[in-house]
Chains A and B, each alone.
Chain A
């Protein structure tokens, strides 16, 4: 089974802090994604990556950046955390988007910014 591991289940950070959310997948997947999930808004794509050192903006990239130095690891960075970034963050990976491969999700990181 594919395993997508997010480093923290719960995080509490202060406004203005730099926050790192880490995600690792163990199936040599090409594609990795970061979503945030908010009540009533569903899942919204923040950033995604199709290869090492490659990144593309999703629907809501403002206030975030990402890093993919190794194929298995995809990090989401909040440069200066704000209260409106309090949310559930979900990392996902997939093998081959061209063939409709499904996304495999981690268990999520619930971030609270105070």
Chain B
């Protein structure tokens, strides 16, 4: 079956620290992978995506590389800002399936 596992939070970092949020998946077929971000009181916004192995998605200083060999899609940012405080969701859709599968979300708080 299809599933996404991401590291549990909450995560608290100081401004300018390095961020990694781990995400691993199981999937049938060849999934596309996504990271979404949810700011307080809002819906989810697409942060980045990768549609095939070894693709790197990037946006707003965040990056994630689609690693088929380790079935992972870890989110990284070199220097976080207070404005990055949000909940981050890893997700996939299999090319043989008809649903998106989400991780449970990781809450990030960045303190000045």
A and B bind: yes
The interface of chain A, by Cβ under 8 A from chain B, is 4, 33, 40-43, 45, 48, 50, 56, 58, 90, 92, 97-100, 102-108
B112 contacts A by Cβ under 8 Å: no
User: A103 to B46, Cβ gap below 8 A?
Assistant: yes
Among A43, A56, A106, A108, which residue has its beta carbon within 8 angstroms of that of B89? Answer: A43
Asked if B102 contacts A43 (CB within 8 A), the reply is yes
B44 on the A face (CB < 8 A):
yes
- B32 engages A105 (CB within 8 Å): no
Given contacts A42-B104, A45-B99, A48-B99, contact A100 B51 (CB under 8 A): yes
**CB within 8 Å for A108 and B99 given contacts A43-B89, A100-B32, A102-B34:** no
In the complex, whether B43 has a CB less than 8 A from a CB of chain A is yes
Residue in chain B with minimal CB distance to A88? B43
Q: How far is the CA of A102 from the CA of B104 in the complex (A)?
A: 18
- Complex CA–CA separation, A32 to B45 (angstroms): 16
Q: Which residue of B is nearest A90, CB measured?
A: B43
Residues of A close to B34: CB separation below 8 A: 102-103
Tell me whether A42 and B89 are in contact (CB under 8 A).
Answer: yes
Which among A41, A42, A45, A108 has the highest number of chain B CB atoms within 10 Å? Answer: A42
Closest to B51 in A: A100
C-alpha gap A108/B36 in the complex (Å): 15
CB-defined contacts of A103 to chain B, threshold 8 Å: 34, 36, 44, 46, 91, 100
Q: Which residue of B lies closest to A4 (CB)?
A: B43
Q: Which residues of A contact B100 (CB under 8 A)?
A: 33, 45, 103
Contacting residues, chain A, for B93 (C-beta < 8 A):
97, 100
Contacts of B46 in A (CB 8 A): 102-104
Closest Cβ of chain B to A36, distance in Å, is 12
Query: In chain A, what residue has the closest Cβ to B6?
Result: A42
B43: A residues at CB distance < 8 A: 4, 90, 105-108
Tell me which residues from 20 to 50 in chain B have a Cβ below 8 Å from any Cβ of chain A. Answer: 31-32, 34, 36, 41-46, 49
A4 to B99 Cα, complex, angstroms = 19
A102–B51 Cα distance when bound, in Å, is: 10
